[in-house]
Structure 1
């Protein structure tokens, strides 16, 4: 069950925008805030990581605001919160190495060469830029777009962009490795 928890939490996070969009068509925002609060508490208890504890506190504030004001906007700000937390984690790892991407790389390659450390630092910077860009678009859709556009961007397009970034980085990494293997 321990290994299944992160998968279930990930699926719930992926499903959040479409669920909010569909739910708002049937329920008042205050009732839609309850699943957000529950998801935040479950994630915080299940992971016990500082990053997700901070996100849980933020999500509880958003859920509470939505419940008290019966307003959908706080519910739509959750993707902005997640991007902000991820940006903080990645940026902090640049200030206090090793970077997030270096830590992940060392899971596969314990003796990462200095060129690998430099590369992982650059990739961490790229992810920071992505979180700024994605968070700004998430905020824009929450404030200025229809609920359908918000759900489409935050529930599909944003994940597609992440997938493109993962795939693009993988291609670049293969070229960098090949270059260092021949050089």
Structure 2
């Protein structure tokens, strides 16, 4: 199932920011309506983080988020679009931060462990993935602060430009820079590919229902 969804996920991840930018530049749609996807994501995340269960339960939560986002846009269009990016970034930042609590497995550590199919990870990688979880949390908090400033001091068009396109570009640059640094800094360890990481997320989701202790080893894995 995750393998079948990988092309769709990739197309959406690459296509949405570019399509939103093109539509914003063309003027075919009002900027307010281009902010709807962020509203769906914000409220979908909010509801999705509060419920557990099968995939259809999360789908219902996202559908409710879409309905609430549409209602917000209809009733308070300018305010809703300005608030959506703030909520999205705060929620994702909280998602990362919440896994750094005592007794929990850091989110990046969990993803790395699952992507390796439970293969033991060296202490150095366990520490690095914990720090990387904190770094991602910090990035989303900064994006939330920037979104707040944009909401107060700029136009709806600028808010949408950042929320739908430039924020994604900044995340992509952060991801690429981290990937290149990790491959160089920890070149003596085996690293899984990006496609395997995405398949892991599609299969297991973001949040762990259990928090097993991450396996530890000081042995150096064979370089891929």
TM-score in terms of structure 1 length: 0.70
1:82 corresponds to 2:88: yes
CA RMSD of aligned residues (A): 4.0
The CA deviation string for residues 64-102 of structure 1, in whole angstroms up to 9 with x for no partner, is: 233224x32202322222111111111111115321111
Provide the rounded CA distance (Å) in 1 between the counterparts of 2:86 and 2:138.
14
Tell me how far apart the structure 1 counterparts of residues 79 and 161 of structure 2 sit (CA, whole Å). Answer: 16
TM-score (norm 2): 0.59
Question: Which of the numbers 132, 139, 162 marks the counterpart of 1:153?
Answer: 162
Q: Map residues 135-150 of structure 1 onto 2, 5 A cutoff.
A: 135-150=144-159
**CA 1:60–1:80 in 2, change beyond 3 Å: closer, same or farther?**
farther
Asked if the contact 2:83/2:151 (under 8 Å) is kept, the reply is: yes
Shift of the 74–153 alpha-carbon distance from structure 1 to 2, 3 Å rule, reads same
Query: What are the within-5 Å matches in structure 2 for residues 37-116 of structure 1?
Result: 39=40, 60-69=67-76, 71-95=77-101, 96-106=103-113, 107-108=115-116, 110-116=119-125
Ranked by relative contact order (alpha carbons within 8 Å, sequence separation 6 or more), the top structure is 2
- Counterpart for residue 122 of structure 1: 131
Alpha-carbon distance in structure 2 between the residues aligned to 1:112 and 1:99: 14
Give the length in aligned residue pairs. 173
- Where structure 2 has 5 or more consecutive residues not aligned to the other structure, the ranges are 49-53, 190-219
Report if aligned partners of 1:90, 1:124 keep a CA contact under 8 Å in 2: yes
Q: Which moved more, 1:54-63 or 1:89-98?
A: 54-63
